[in-house]
Amino acid sequence: MGKFDQRGKSMNINKLRNLPQYKDKTDNELKAMVELKEVGIAPSKQFEERIEEKLNKFSDDYDLTDLKINDREILRALVQAIIALEDYEQYLFQVRAEGINPDNLLVVDKVGNKMSDLRKDISNFQNDLAITRKHRKSDQETSVIAYIDNLKEKARKFYQSKMSYVFCECGTLLATVWTLYPDSNNKMSFICQQKDKDGNPCGKKTIVTTKELIENRNTNRKEIAPESIL
């Protein structure tokens, strides 16, 4: 009887291998599918089609040719998690559309927790795979963005190094100024309008010269100026 079963499985595997959708499956994968079918839990055709569709989208963006069997299993688990998350999102949307009430609040909470777990699983699967991109355009765009951000940071630091910061006696920053000729004795005055807890303005007048600011490392009050601007 055992030999008959084994021969029957081999015949089923050969039949599956002849089908176009299973031509890339390994013997172990085909054997597992046959065993599932024999116990009456063969995968849903619609579900498999959704998985295949997602896998095709992944192959458009990533190079999957060098994936080992364990990586393919992780990829399949990733796709299943994405599909499950989509289904939960659709279900939760329908529930919310009908209105949240005490009867469905517990369901909404449980579904929300499950969605959170799925997102964590998806993130872990993505980290495990570290798939090589087929198209480097996205990476190039990322490099350009990083380059621009780096330029912005340099510009910000340059701006800070050239600006002077004027503070009131009460500690309020009154102005950040830049002048073309800071060595000249340009005089500036500011009146603080910072309000106290009773809503009264400070009203104190601060007078500085650009030359004083330069000599004092671009501020009139080094004791309260942040170290990053000194």
Is residue 75 within 8 Å of 54, Cβ to Cβ?
no
- The model's pTM is 0.40
CA–CA separation, 51 and 130 (whole Å): 20
CA–CA separation, 178 and 159 (whole Å): 9
Closest CA relative to residue 33, chosen from 50, 9, 57, 51? 9
Residuewise pLDDT in 10s, the chain (230 residues): 333 344 444 556 677 677 766 667 777 666 766 665 654 445 577 888 888 888 888 887 777 777 788 888 888 888 998 988 888 888 888 877 777 777 778 888 888 888 998 899 888 888 787 765 544 455 556 666 777 777 777 776 666 567 888 999 999 999 988 888 888 888 999 999 999 888 999 999 999 998 888 888 889 998 887 766 65
Cα torsion for 83, 88, 93, 95, to the nearest 10°?
Answer: 150
| DSSP-based three-state secondary structure for 133 | strand
What is the DSSP code (8-state) at residue 43?
A: P
Model pLDDT, residue 217: 84
